[in-house]
Amino acid sequence: MTGPPAPEAGVHDDAEVVAQWIYVKSGEVNLTDDSRPGTSETWMKYADPSMEDGKAGDDHSPREEYAFLKALPDDPKKVRAKARAFFYATDKTETRTEHEYRALTAVLSRAYAYAAEDLAKLYRALATIPGVRAAQVQDAAGRDAVALYLRNEDPTANRDELLLDPGTYLCSGHRWVARSAGGQWKKGDAVISGVRLVTAVVDRKDQRP
């Protein structure tokens, strides 16, 4: 995998968002049920003590995520180690490679407040993980996207993909792609496809950008 350039848009200053909320509008298409495609809105406190210091398991508040990014070293090996500790192993069958990939992509998918140089360290670390691949795809909203995934030698194992905006290289969604036919889908179908439509910092819950 060749690491994409550091994102240049949407950089936030931590001091500006401490008392604010993160607004996310997203959509999902799911072939495993009969529900129609729909959208949802969520508001997350940027600084939420109930989500910090291990109180929510391996989940973290946006403020804690920002602090993690700011403290990252330059060495990709050390970045991978810190990511493993930040999103610790919950499955004993998970390999170190799988753990590191899961942890790094989890950080990327939740990077609501960030500096471009810090995200660049994550991309450089991802590029050193064996088996990481990238592909040009279209998401459920018809937008171009870069799909990141970890290669699996099992030809029947479905593939989890993190989608990135090709202009900013920020998270734009996710896909669960079938590698064999089953139920209502065929090989290559995006069985579950989520898109991130809007992400913004707002002053209060229920406020929209």
SS3 86: helix
Low-confidence ranges of the chain (pLDDT < 50): 1-11
What Cα–Cα distance (Å) separates residue 10 from each residue in 60, 195, 200?
A: 21, 18, 9
Q: At what angle do helices 96-109 and 62-70 cross, to 10 degrees?
A: 110
- Which is nearest to 107 in space by CA: 77, 129, 86, 128? 86
CA–CA separation, 169 and 59 (whole Å): 23
Identify the pLDDT of residue 1: 41
**Is the sign of the CA dihedral 164, 66, 196, 54 positive or negative?**
positive
Those residues whose C-beta lies under 8 Å from the C-beta of residue 184, and which sit 6 or more positions away, are 31, 32
Neighbours of 39 (CB within 10 A): 12
- Which is nearest to 180 in space by CA: 192, 188, 171, 172? 188
Identify the pLDDT of residue 181: 83
Question: For residue range 78-128, what is the model confidence (pLDDT) as tens digits?
Answer: 999 999 999 998 888 999 999 999 999 999 999 999 999 999 999 999 999
Residue 159 is given by DSSP the state: E
Identify the pLDDT of residue 16: 56
